Each structure stands twice: as structure tokens, then as C-alpha cells.
Amino acid sequence: MVAAVCLLPAVTVALLSSFPVAMSLRRDVLELGDADFDYLATEHETMLVKFYAPWCGHCKKLAPEFEKAATRLKGTVQLAKVDCTAHSETCGRFGVTGYPTLKIFRYGKDSAPYDGPRTADGIYQYMKKQTGPDSVHLKTKEDLQTFVNNYDASIVGVFSGADSSRLAEFRMAAGLLREQFRFAHITDLQIAEEHGVDSESVLLFRPPRLASAFEDRVVVFKDYLTISSLRRFIRDHIYGLCPHMTMENRDRLRVRDLMTAYYDLDYHHNVRGSNYWRNRVMKVASKYTGRGLMFSVANKQDFLPELEDDFGLGMSDGGELPFVTIRTRLGQKYIMREEFTRDGQSLERFLEDYFAGRLKRYIKSEPIPEKNVATVKVVVAESFDDIVNDPNKDALIQFYSPTCPHCKKLEPVYRELADKLYSNPNIVIAKMNAVDNDVPLGYDVQGFPTIYFVPVGKKDEPIRYQGGRELKDFLKFLKREATHSLKFSGSRNEL
């Protein structure tokens, strides 16, 4: 995700330097300038610095969130800010070209760009993971037990001594991956002997809350240790057979076809109850490993807005039983419509139908209109194939939002276009509410209105319309792209 920034205006350094230094009103955010940046920054092990301009709208929006995060992080991570209109030398030295720019410093050295969330809680969570060493040195068996007894998974390197060449490689990997995972290392093989380790290796400990009879809690990595091989090992094993999907890790999980059971899951207050349904999912999932489908569980309330939008699930729907979906990496969606049974038989039937190709895809759709006699044909998700993908007709389809002012402005022009071509049997002018209907695969709709031309014989290769929004612009485009010559409605004159 690219953070919004205000671009640096073309002003001279002399003008920038003429601004007075502003005094900080909040001591939780340290204010730095050209004269004291190096001196003060070196005092802090980890510091997040915001480079900003007072006139920048994005900076103003970030300011209260940054202040709140600074208060929560006080004593662990120092947050600071530099006004680039007053301290252009410092901002130029660190390559600041837009506002706000956030950077992580360690003892005064530019360590990494900050690319995390820009909310108070997001900054807090992100920067908490930046504190302390990249990899914690565990010196006793008690240290090891304490470290791995955590809400999140743990990666522990086991080495024969502090001078091990593999330890250096492990610590480099930890530095690169610390934002995503927890790392520690041991320099005494005996500390990890109870885990069957008698040589240098890496242990991946899954969280105790996710312990299950269906998989090992500890996975051992014994390949040749490189940053790439360790990253690949973590990627392949970190989530296990059935991970707990959260808002933070969902994008990483959804790179594969994913089945998710949503229910009243709460690992902070009810571990046993949360694992009741997860164990039933895992029992069934263990029969389908290696078939290209990943499994997960999630808190229904956390994902309710998404479930309402993508699957039409209401607040009161589903009851206490899990609501099960499959979402493929290509965007196809399926719902288990049978009630989730405690013996897992309903889930197994659902998966058998999925792998056999017997399931009907779930499509969010408004009802198909009983009458559709206007010149601009109304398309819903359920009727998209019948109207837009009619093999005998070209189609011009507008994806719109009912609240979009640009769509409302376009409406009379679009209707006039449809009126002009009404008597033409070879083309259809259509529109679809893209808020209340799923947009088909192959159409990139990021804003409204978005218009595509779908020609005969190339229904899987829609052409995005990029022209003007006047009648003459549409007619010129269709004259060029239409499969058959066009005529005005009620006229013999060809376009």
C-alpha cells in the first residue's frame, strides 16, 4: 500500500530556512531540527521520525494519531518529528521528497522506511515489534519456555556457539523479517535437547493456544541455512494446518485458495471454546492436505462488515454455528449452505462437492428485474452472462454506484446513447450497480463510473473505455470498435 503524501513544492532553500523553529507543545513527541537531530537521535535505541510540513493536509490528518501513538509508546519507542519547512538540511539529508515521510532510526542511523499503518493503534502495534534486538538470546531452558509460550508463533535458532557462521546468517534473516515474526537464538545445544535437537538447526514453535492433536507443535528446519531458505521454511510452516485468520494476516493467507470457518472465536478469553470448532475443522482438513486448499478459522464479528458485503451475511445470521466459506485466489466464492454438524460430516460433504466441481459459485446479486424494457438495460450479477456475454451482441457496460455524482451526471448522456442505438439488434447498452452486485472476473473496477466494451467473439477480453463522456465520444468509439456497422434508431444512415 502506497501512503498518501504531499509533494514537495518548488521553493528555495533560503525561503525554507527563514521559517522559525516551532516549539513542541507535547513532550511525548520529540521535536528535532538541523541543530540537534544527530545529538538527540543517537540517544534512542529505536525512534520513529515523522518528516512533515505544517501546510500538508495528510500531515494534519496524521498528527493526532501520531501523538496518541507516542503517548502509548512512551518509555519503549521514542516518536519524533521534523518540520521540513524550517529544517530543510535534515530533511534533504534523509531524502525526504514528500510529506509526511516516516522513517525508523536506530541510535541515530536511518534504519528503514516505515510502511505500516497510520492509525494510533497501527503505529503502536508496528513499532512495538521494532523494539529490542532482532533475535533474543536465550540462555536457559526456562528462557526458551518463556519465549515460546506466546500468543504468536516463535522461530528459534539453535547453534553450537556464539561464533557459529550460521548464527550470523540467522540474525540477518531476523533483522529482515522481525516485523512479521518473533526470533530468538540459543548458543548451547543442550538447551533444546528435549526437542530432539543434537545439531545446529531452527525450530518453529506454533502458539500454545493453537496446540492440536492433528499436527506437531514444533517443526524442525535442518536444511542449509540461508535467508531465502529460512524465509521459505517459515512461509510453508508458520500457519500450520488451520491458522487463526485475523485482519492483520488475511492478505498473506489469501494468496492461496482458502476455506474459512467464522464463529465466536476469542483466543484471549476463551481458548477452549475457540478450539472446539477449530479441532472439528482440523479433523476434516487433515483428510484434504495437498489438494491446493488452505484452511482457517476466524472471529465472525471481526469480519462481519466483509461478510455482509461479500456474502450477504447479516448480524443475526448464522447463530452460534460456524459460517463456512471458500474464497479462491481468483476471487471465486462459495458458501456451505448446510448447517455445520458437530461430527464434521456436513463440512466433509461440502469439501467433496467443492473438489468435484459440483458447487455453484456464490454471487452477490440484486434480483433480476421482472421488466427490463428501457433502452439502457439493467444488468445484475445473475444476469450478466445472459446480457453482456450474449455471444451474438456487442455490449457497452457501465459499472456505477447509486451515490456517485459523476455517474448521475453521465446518466442522461448514456441514456441518449442507448436511445440512438435502440433499433440496432447487434449491440446492447447496459449498466450495473457495482456496489450491490459482484463485478465479474476480468473487470477492474476501482472507481465510478467504469465502462467496458465487450465485443462479439472476445467476451473474455473486455476493452476498458477511456474516452470522453459526451455522446459524440461514445459514438466515435463504438463506430471504431463495433463488430457490425451501426445505425441511428429510426434512421437508415449508418454511423
Sequence-distant (≥ 6) Cβ neighbours of residue 119 within 8 angstroms: 65
Query: For residues 124 and 119, what is the distance between their CA atoms, to the nearest angstrom?
Result: 8
Other CB atoms within a 10 A radius of the CB of residue 66 amount to 25
Query: For residues 20 and 27, what is the distance between their CA atoms, to the nearest angstrom?
Result: 19
Instruction: Tell me the DSSP string of 216-285.
Output: -SEEEE-S---HHHHHHHHHHHSS-SS-EE-TTTHHHHTTSEEEEEEE---TTT-HHHHHHHHHHHHHHH
The CA-to-CA distance between both ends of the chain, in Å, stands at: 45
Q: Answer yes or no: are the C-beta atoms of 257 and 293 closer than 8 Å.
A: yes
Sequence-distant (≥ 6) Cβ neighbours of residue 320 within 8 angstroms: 263, 264
Q: Answer yes or no: are the C-beta atoms of 430 and 396 closer than 8 Å.
A: yes
Q: Helix (H, G, I), strand (E, B), or coil: what is residue 370?
A: coil
Dihedral sign computed on CA atoms, order 56, 57, 58, 62? positive
Q: Clarify whether 56 is annotated catalytic.
A: yes
Catalytic residue among 84, 91, 242, 407: 407
94-118 core/surface letters (b: 16 or more CB in 10 A; e: else): eebebbbbbbbbeeeeeeeebebbb
Catalytic residue among 59, 84, 91, 242: 59
Q: Answer yes or no: are the C-beta atoms of 307 and 300 closer than 8 Å.
A: yes
Three-state SS string across 278-319, please?
HHHHHHHHCCCCCCCEEEEEEECCCCHHHHHHHHCCCCCCCC
Catalytic residues: 56, 59, 404, 407
